[in-house]
Structure 1
Amino acid sequence: MFCPFCGVGFSLFTPFCASCGRSLELLRDQAEGSDSPGTSKQTENPEQKQTCPSYKQFMEYRKSKSKERQAFSCGVKLKLKQQSKPVKINIGIMVLQQTDLKPLRGKTLPLFISPEITAPDLLKQAAEKMRTFHRDLEEGPYVLLYPDCTEVINVPGTERPFRLADYKEEIGKNYNRISLFICPESHFKQALIAEDGTSDSDPEIVITSRSTAEFNQAGILTCSRTFIYHTAISNCNI
């Protein structure tokens, strides 16, 4: 005799299955019939006997459920695998040229990283990749920069900490078209100081009205004529 729910076999009838704990009242008639061989007990309701699932039906049901669980599990694993699949971006180097930060030509390399990577980890991997292929690279520390020379801290336009997948969604580009740069921290600080100095040293522009300008011009002409008159008198006296 077998449990129609879990398929565990047992020799004596019990009200509940010892494996799954389900009720086995549906098998009571079958157990009573097997206990008294040679006697046939008629059931009052023949349809009730037909509703009891057979072992073959149970095994088919169990097999179909097993396939469903495997399909669901494989779907979740596939989704996680796609999320963790490495993507390719471009990494370059920015250095200070006069007072501006500019990328160096011929120093761009591809970098394969996870789309879930954050700014500190991305900076570390980018610096290691650059040191591997460019022996003349300056010693760090470095900062990670966007193409507009701003430091990579948050996703542009948001307050969320940088994450490559979020940045890709914001700019609407494929991963292989994304370019980020590393820059020596000393160069980055010098560029900031130069930018602040340029803004502070801008010449002051004074806007005056037309009447004030004409008055100032008339005063200058009067002073010039007085100087010429006194110079002429001095020459005559000599």
Structure 2
Amino acid sequence: MDGDGDRVAFCPFCGKHISQLSQFCFSCGRSLEFLTEGPNKPATSAQPDNAKQTGKPCPSFKQFVDYRSAKTKEHEGFNYGSRGKHSYKKTTERKPVQINIGLMVWIGTEVKPLRGKMLPVFVDPEIAAPELLKQAVQKMTKFNKDVQDGKYILLYPDRSEVVHLPGSERPFKLAEYKKELGRPYGRITLFICLETDFKGVADDTSESDSEIDIPSRSTVEFNRADTVR
């Protein structure tokens, strides 16, 4: 081989291949300075007398560790960019996504979306229904002081409660809902509604039924007698 740095193809201590002659072996950490002591020293594949392993690190082992640590950091910066691994990890974290939250209230005979109460909410795409409801209520009450206090529930646009994914028994997850809906996050709209308003649909129906006057048997007979007269 040509050149002073190419005289040795492997470490005489551990046999590890050496692409370029340096002060230390990158594998075992042994000093290779004796190989560069003289420019005319011939290359040899035989191990020197002090190449026998003694189980103890050489006196300059700490220098080797520091040198390898510096090289490792240099390689990490090359592989992951100028900021190293930290900047790479940040790019793999989930970013919040934006959806729209509206307010439904009792209007006439049913709950309907209230105009002017639509707000964007930034949430984790893996958020579940309970946490999404909590964040939606916080956002709505923060920007609308006229929103009534009370227990709220989360509703789909069709006024059904958000508990499971539509048409299944799987618990609601925003990312899965978005996938099945086939829309971008920015076009997803869910609603919050007072539980009392939501239950008012059933309550109103029952109250309407109770207002129907069903006459008793005696009343019917009295009306018939009065008609005969």
Match of 1:117 in 2: 127
Question: Normalised by the size of structure 1, how large is the TM-score?
Answer: 0.56
**TM-superposed deviation, 1:140:** 1.6
CA distance in 2: counterparts of 1:197 and 1:62, whole angstroms: 76
Please tell me the root mean square deviation across aligned C-alpha atoms, in Å: 4.0
Match for residue 2 of structure 1?
Answer: 24
Post-superposition shift, 1:112?
1.1
Counterpart selection for 1:141 from 136, 151, 154: 151
Q: Which amino acid aligns with 2:194?
A: P
Whole-angstrom CA distance in 2 between matches of 1:197 and 1:79: 57
Residues 125-161 of structure 1, C-alpha deviation per residue, up to 9 Å, x if partnerless? Answer: 1101111111110112100000000000011122211
Question: Partner of 2:46 in structure 1?
Answer: 29
Identical positions, percent: 44
Contact 2:101 2:118 in 1 (8 A): yes
Cα displacement string for residues 42-86 of structure 1 (whole angstroms, at most 9, x for unaligned residues):
xxxxxxxxxxxxxxxxx8x979975787489679725632x2x11
In structure 2, the residue corresponding to 1:29 is in which secondary structure?
A: coil
- Give, as a single letter, the amino acid of the residue that structure 1 aligns with 2:136: A
Give me the whole-angstrom Cα distance separating, in 1, the residues matched to 2:149 and 2:73.
62
How many residue pairs align between the two structures?
162
Instruction: Give the distance between the partners of 2:209 and 2:27, measured in 1 at CA.
Output: 81
Where does 1:92-171 land on structure 2 (aligned, <5 Å)? 92-171=102-181
CA contact (8 A) 2:121 2:136 kept: yes
- Once the two structures are TM-superposed, the CA of residue 191 in structure 1 deviates from its matched residue by 1.4
Ranges in structure 2 where 5+ consecutive residues have no aligned partner: 1-22, 33-43, 53-67, 212-229
Give the counterpart letter for 1:153 in structure 2.
V
**Offset from partner CA, 1:73-120 (integer Å, 9 cap, x none):** 679725632x2x111111100011222110001111111111111111
User: Structure 1 residues 119 and 32, CA, compared in 2 at 3 Å: closer, same or farther?
Assistant: same
Q: What letter is aligned with 2:133?
A: L
Query: Contact 1:99/1:195 (CA < 8 Å) preserved in 2?
Result: no
Alpha carbons of structure 1 residues 63 and 145: separation in structure 2 relative to 1, 3 Å: closer
1:173 aligns with 2:183: yes
Partners of 1:159 and 1:133 in 2: CA distance? 34
The CA distance in 1 between the partners of 2:119 and 2:78, in whole Å, is: 45
Instruction: From the CA coordinates, give the structure whose radius of gyration is larger.
Output: 1
Quote the offset at 1:32 in angstroms.
Answer: 3.3
Give SS of 2:46's match. Answer: helix
> Closer, same or farther in 2 for the Cα pair 1:111/1:62, shift >3 Å?
closer
Distance 2:152 2:144 in 1: 15
Q: Which amino acid aligns with 1:31?
A: P
CA contact (8 A) 2:80 2:88 kept: no
CA contact (8 A) 2:24 2:31 kept: yes
The code of the aligned residue for 2:89 comes to K
How does 1:1-238 map onto structure 2 within 5 Å? Answer: 2-5=24-27, 8-10=29-31, 29-32=46-49, 66=76, 70=80, 77=89, 80-81=92-93, 83=94, 85-194=95-204
SS in 2 for 1:135: coil
* C-alpha separation in 2, matches of 1:185 and 1:111: 21
Q: What TM-score results when the alignment is normalised by the length of structure 2?
A: 0.58
Q: Measure the CA separation in 1 of the matches of 2:90 and 2:119.
A: 29
Q: Which amino acid in the other structure matches residue 150 of structure 1?
A: S
Mapped partners of 2:202, 2:46: distance in 1? 90
CA distance in 2, matches of 1:151, 1:180: 10
